[in-house]
Structure 1
């Protein structure tokens, strides 16, 4: 069962729900910055609801410098393994189709602001 705050992201805010590798590639493959919210199990991890509330606020604070999507449980495990961002909830950052980094667990607002500012200031990843 999905938490109502996660449902709010995909239904009310119209963020993509990434349920397959093709969905993930389609979302992260475009130009610019993309953040995938990996909620984990909201019944077992109370921090999931906190991050579901914080991420839209972060998107507004950074004035749309990144778009957001939610990882469906169907791809969560593979996404976490592929990026090595194993703890949930987490925010996984991609730029121009390439994985950059992740921020696992809930953080203080000031830490999010500092870390995301540093992430967005990184030079582009060279294509292989």
Structure 2
């Protein structure tokens, strides 16, 4: 499902939209840290637009410590099930192909800053913020 604020991430910011497992694996397996934005249904979940606006600001605040992509509708359910980050919208963090954490739903700025700092400090273990 499309929404102008989600579309902005792929058009204005040129973030990739991952529509299949191959693209997902290729994106998350690269060197460094990668964040998947799993939007969910923006018509049913008003928080989706909020996270679509907040994520570019978060990326800027962390000064290039990770890149971002948008998970497409076709693989969203599978990503949610595989990562066990079931609530949307969510941010799912990977380092070189390994999930290192997830943050479901919208959070306040300070919580994003604290949780992402913790996630980035982790190695291969995975941490999911409370729903």
Please classify the TM superposition score into its range, dividing by the shorter chain length. over 0.9
For residues 67-102 of structure 1, give each alpha carbon's deviation from its aligned partner in whole angstroms, at most 9, with x where no partner exists. Answer: 000000000000000000000000000001111111
Counterpart check, 1:58 vs 2:81: no
For residues 5-28 of structure 1, give each alpha carbon's deviation from its aligned partner in whole angstroms, at most 9, with x where no partner exists. Answer: 000001111000000000100100
Length-normalised TM-score, structure 2: 0.93
Q: 2 CA distance for matches of 1:13 and 1:60?
A: 12
1:3 paired residue number: 3
- Identify unmatched segments of 5+ residues in structure 1: none
Structural mapping, 1:1-128, within 5 Å? 1-122=1-122, 124-125=123-124
Cα-Cα RMSD: 1.0
Length-normalised TM-score, structure 1: 0.95
Runs of 4+ deviating beyond 6 Å: none
SS of structure 2 residue aligned to 1:41: coil
SS of structure 1 residue aligned to 2:69: strand
2:129 paired residue number: none
Q: 2 CA distance for matches of 1:96 and 1:23?
A: 14
